Structure 1
Amino acid sequence: MSQPTLDVELATLVATSAEAVRAGVEALPGPRSSRLAALHADPATELPRLATAIRGYADAVIAPYWPRMRALLEREVLLGAQRMATDGVHGLLNHLNQFVRLEAETLTVEHVTLAGSVQLDGRGLLLVPSVFIGARVWSNFDSPGQPVLRFPARAVGTLWERDPTPHGRGLARVLGRTRAALLHELAVPTSTLELAGRCGLATGTVSQHLGALREAGLVGAHRVGRFVLYARTTAAEVLIAASGAGAT
């Protein structure tokens, strides 16, 4: 299944009906800014301007990091699918986030400012991992369209790290910088292809180093569908913790 591109999403935004735009603006709390007032008054003119602004922002701010963001988000989806396959819907939702829990047929989502209950009425629920929403969750269950629950993806902090072994230089001297960097990246299950992209290495090189780390008992592997994901073992966690403690 192909994923929607930003161009497709922006085209959909521009094609939004004036009635839907005005209803969305009117539902927003608080005073209406001049830009929101303009959008409410003339959606046909303001929506293309909004799309242009979003495109410019995405090109300048998100595009340089998008490959890493996409890899992290795709991994989150993959791990969620594995959880659901092994533990069912309850297992998936009850491990999604600390502010989400499913008991019997009731899904409880803790918000800071929202309260109330909504019947999904068989509309389903779209789960969307995000790298932009902090530690909490966001939902729009009461809109006419598809109910959506956005939740923070795990290991978001790794997106912005520049030194792959900031506190593990001692470990790098023992294992070598490449293998230490790979262990650092394996805080969450990761594929060979993603590791190669994140570390700037050829996939064959990554595979060789992972093989050596597996033989040493520092990395384990498991298959999820057509993917093989690698993760640190308990022995690796102990080694990394000791190295970090001694590198201050």
Structure 2
Amino acid sequence: MLEYDLSGSDLGAVRFAISPVNELAFSLRAWRDPGRFPLQLPWLTATQRAREGLDGDLLVALTNTRLGLPDFLTPRPRTPLERLEDELAVVAATPLDVVRADFAEVHPEGLPGPLRGPTARVLGRIVAELADYWAVALAPWWPRMRAVLEADVVHRGRTTARAGVAAMFADLAPDVTLTGDVVRVQGGSAVLRRRVTAGDGLTLVPTLFTHRTAGPFDPDEAPLLVYLARGTGTVWQPDRTGGPAALATLVGDVRAGLLAALESPASSTELAVRLGVTTSAVNQHLRALRAAGWLTSARHGRSVLYLRSELGDALLAGSTSG
């Protein structure tokens, strides 16, 4: 069990962040044990050939049979929307004694062959291989992945604003609870407690590559929880279904499809992939639908997320029932 005591901190200091390097590291667990990640099988299948050109032995050796990862591969994001280059620079600058300690924590029985050798050289190989892995296996999917992660953050923010931070934690994951000022993550026999002091805060990071909530091994690491994002199962599935026929007759197939798709927040980039049209065309339709009052929009970082309005809900419901 992992516990974070927030009594020394303002609950308002709980923040969300999206981290490319966390996605990169956590995706290695799906690579190592695909059977535990059925939602990610379409991605594993689509990237199999590209991953064959990588040093898979090195990358998979970064996890263990329990799917643990070295803490230095999952640094706490410093901003709400991190850039991969900046996060890889943080990983590359990890003190070598920390790298060795994290390796020992993940592989207490001894290091796998690919991780043996001078630590500085091994760390350099890891950073270079992670960059190549990103380029061939995650970068092509990142716009849609990021849109789903951003939509999750928007949902959590709305839950907090509407019902409070306790309701947000209750909805976060089945293994997470907030009792009083203590956030508890169930799992494991040992209890790791950490008091979060004022100004330290707790960072919550959604991911598409986990089956349980995770935190750092080291109690001295910055407070961090990584949890499964909502909508993970939709990321790698094409969605070309349109809206109801009656509505499509009125506003066209694309606009009807957009209204049908925007039950949950999404960006124009994600919507373009799902509907099989260009981003510029989607943006034109979204502007028209928003001007008509059928959509709402909210900015999250560099992206604008769209959602059906109450008027849009009523229009779609009437069209479907008719």
Q: 1:46 to 1:224 in 2, by over 3 A?
A: closer
CA contact (8 A) 1:73 1:129 kept: yes
CA separation in 2, counterparts of 1:66 and 1:209?
Answer: 26
User: Which ranges of structure 2 fall in alignment gaps of 5 or more residues?
Assistant: 1-78
Secondary structure at 2:239's aligned position in 1? Answer: coil
Task: State which drifts further: 153-162 or 81-90.
Answer: 81-90
Q: Does 1:5 align with 2:80?
A: no
| Higher RCO (CA < 8 A, seq sep 6+) | 2
Runs of 4+ that moved beyond 6 A: 224-228, 237-240
Q: 1:70 to 1:192 in 2, by over 3 A?
A: closer
Q: 1:84 to 1:107 in 2, by over 3 A?
A: same
CA contact (8 A) 1:14 1:47 kept: yes
| Structure 1 residue 70, shift from structure 2 partner | 1.4
Q: Does 1:120 align with 2:200?
A: no
Task: State which drifts further: 52-61 or 195-204.
Answer: 195-204
CA contact (8 A) 1:190 1:230 kept: yes
* Letter paired with 1:221: T
Q: 1:149 to 1:82 in 2, by over 3 A?
A: same
* Letter paired with 2:102: G
- Give aligned-pair identity as a percent: 29
| Structure 1 residue 68, shift from structure 2 partner | 1.1
Partner residue in 2 for 1:35: 114
| Structure 1 residue 174, shift from structure 2 partner | 5.1
Secondary structure at 2:193's aligned position in 1? Answer: coil
| Structure 1 residue 164, shift from structure 2 partner | 2.2
| Structure 1 residue 160, shift from structure 2 partner | 1.3
Give the alignment's Cα RMSD to 1 decimal.
3.3
Q: Does 1:233 align with 2:313?
A: yes
Match of 1:148 among 224, 236, 244: 224
* Letter paired with 1:233: D
Q: Does 1:208 align with 2:291?
A: no
| Structure 1 residue 128, shift from structure 2 partner | 0.1
Q: 1:184 to 1:142 in 2, by over 3 A?
A: farther
CA separation in 1, counterparts of 2:238 and 2:208?
Answer: 17
Q: 1:31 to 1:236 in 2, by over 3 A?
A: farther
Within-5 A mapping of 1:95-110 = 95-110=171-186
Secondary structure at 1:132's aligned position in 2? Answer: coil
Cα deviations by residue, 1:167-221 (Å, 9 ceiling, x for unpaired): x68x357524313421342131235676457543242222224556x5xxxx563
CA separation in 1, counterparts of 2:81 and 2:158?
Answer: 20
Secondary structure at 1:145's aligned position in 2? Answer: coil
Give the TM-score taking structure 1 as reference length: 0.76
CA separation in 1, counterparts of 2:133 and 2:182?
Answer: 39
CA separation in 2, counterparts of 1:238 and 1:29?
Answer: 58
Partner residue in 2 for 1:246: none
Q: Does 1:74 align with 2:154?
A: no
CA separation in 2, counterparts of 1:141 and 1:26?
Answer: 11
CA separation in 2, counterparts of 1:115 and 1:70?
Answer: 34
CA contact (8 A) 2:194 2:219 kept: no
Q: Does 1:130 align with 2:207?
A: yes
CA contact (8 A) 1:125 1:147 kept: yes
| Structure 1 residue 239, shift from structure 2 partner | 6.8
| Structure 1 residue 158, shift from structure 2 partner | 2.3
Give the TM-score taking structure 2 as reference length: 0.60
Task: State which drifts further: 113-122 or 220-229.
Answer: 220-229
Q: Does 1:25 align with 2:103?
A: yes
User: Which ranges of structure 1 fall in alignment gaps of 5 or more residues?
Assistant: 244-248
Length, aligned pairs only: 229
* Letter paired with 1:155: G
Partner residue in 2 for 1:51: 127
Partner residue in 1 for 2:47: none
Partner residue in 2 for 1:221: 296
Q: 1:194 to 1:211 in 2, by over 3 A?
A: farther
| Structure 1 residue 57, shift from structure 2 partner | 0.9
Cα deviations by residue, 1:38-73 (Å, 9 ceiling, x for unpaired): 1xx421101111111111111001011111111222
